[in-house]
Every structure is written in structure tokens, then in C-alpha cells.
Amino acid sequence: MGQKILVVEDNELNLKLFCDLLRAHGFEAEPVRDGRDAIDRARGFSPDLVVMDIQMPHVSGLELIEQMKADDELRTTPVMAVTAYAAKGDEERIRDAGAEGYVSKPISVLRFVDAVQSLLATASQRARDIDGATEDAETEEAARPEGETAPEISNETTPDNFPPIDRPTEDGPHGETP
């Protein structure tokens, strides 16, 4: 199967629709009907993306997103919030909680699938960028002679870290007579 997506949705019809849609597009979809189970299920399933309903009984999607983003295992997992209540300021609150994506209900099937694919592509690129930066740092570290540490980089401007300046002499700037 393809990438793994955890779907947290209390409405049975919406849960089935989201999971069926995702499976039809080659994703492995794991349904969660009760938000109180979402964090434990996410840890066990290790999803590539979480589709999160915002309005649920017992615990709100906003609270779950905040808990996921505070969890060492889950903080890098992207979250796409789905909500029927798209009032002014809702999207900003949802993104402030940590959601990387937002779709309002009723959903457009194409828009939903596009949003999922876009978030997964962005997360994959971010992971490659991080892995590449880590590999570059490891390569640089391995190439450094034993016992030598990396030079410190400073944003401060002090006389010690100014680049050399070709200063004029009595004979002129480059040794010629003025």
C-alpha cells in the first residue's frame, strides 16, 4: 500500500467517505471514530498525514492538534484539518494550533485529494531537505582532520572577522606612487 493516513472523524458517513477516497487513490487509511483514541492510534500507526475533524465530542480537533505538535513522536506529522464550521478566523486558529492544511465541509472530492497530495509532497520534500542537510553536515564533519572542530560562524561584526581590506600605502593603494 501507499502512504499512511490517519483519519480522525466522529461522523460515520464522513469517516467512510474519507477512508474510501484515500484508499481509491492508493493510500492506506486508518479510521479513528473517537478523538480520545487519536494520539495513541497515531503513535501505533505512524501516519504520514493526519486528517483531523475539528468539531468532535469529548475532545476538539484543535486540542488534538496541539497535543500532537507537543508530542516528540508526532510533532513532524502534518495535519489537515477538516471542519464544517468555517467562520471568520477559524482557519487562522486551526493553523495557529499547528495544522498545515485546512479544508472546509462539505468537501470537494478533487480539492480534498489535491490537499492530501500537496501536504504529503511538502512533508516529503521537507524530510529530504532535512536529511540532505544532515548528510552534508556529516560529510563535512567526516572530511575535517581528526581533533579539528568546525569554525564558529558569527553574525557579529568585529575587527577579528572583517574580511581583509586592501589598504592604501604611502605609495598608493597597490604599491604604485600616487
pLDDT 10s digits, 50-67: 999 999 999 999 999 999
Report DSSP state, residue 8. Answer: E
Model-level pTM greater than 0.75?
A: no
The residue among 38, 65, 45 whose CA lies nearest residue 4 is 45
Report DSSP state, residue 163. Answer: P
* Average confidence score pLDDT of the chain: 81
Report the share of the chain in percent with pLDDT over 90: 54
Per-residue confidence at 10, pLDDT binned at 50, 70, 90?
Answer: very high
Place of cell 473517537: 34
Cα separation, 178 vs 176, whole angstroms: 6
Per-residue confidence at 156, pLDDT binned at 50, 70, 90?
Answer: very low
Maximum Cα–Cα distance across the chain: 89
Q: Which domains does the chain have, with CATH numbers?
A: 4-133 (3.40.50.2300)
**Statement: residue 120 has pLDDT above 60:** yes
